[in-house]
Amino acid sequence: MRFLTTYPERLENGKNAPWYFVARLTKNIPYEDVGMGDRMLAIWQGQGYYHYTTCNQDGNQANVVQNINYDDIEGVWTYVYYSYSIELKRAVGFIQYGP
Reported as a single tens digit per residue, the pLDDT across 74-90 is 888 989 888 877 787 77
Strand partners, 76: none
In angstroms, the CA 34 to CA 6 distance is 33
pLDDT at 33: 67
Indicate whether 9 belongs to any domain.
no
Indicate whether 62 belongs to any domain.
yes
CA-wise closest residue to 2 among 82, 76, 90, 61: 76
Domain that includes residue 80, residue range:
19-97
Indicate whether 50 belongs to any domain.
yes
Indicate whether 7 belongs to any domain.
no
Indicate whether 2 belongs to any domain.
no
Indicate whether 12 belongs to any domain.
no
pLDDT at 88: 79
Binned at pLDDT 50, 70 and 90, residue 15 comes out as low
Segment 58-70, tens digit of pLDDT: 656 667 788 989 8
The structural domain count of the chain equals 1
Indicate whether 8 belongs to any domain.
no
Indicate whether 82 belongs to any domain.
yes
Compute the C-alpha angle 88/90/95, nearest 5°.
135
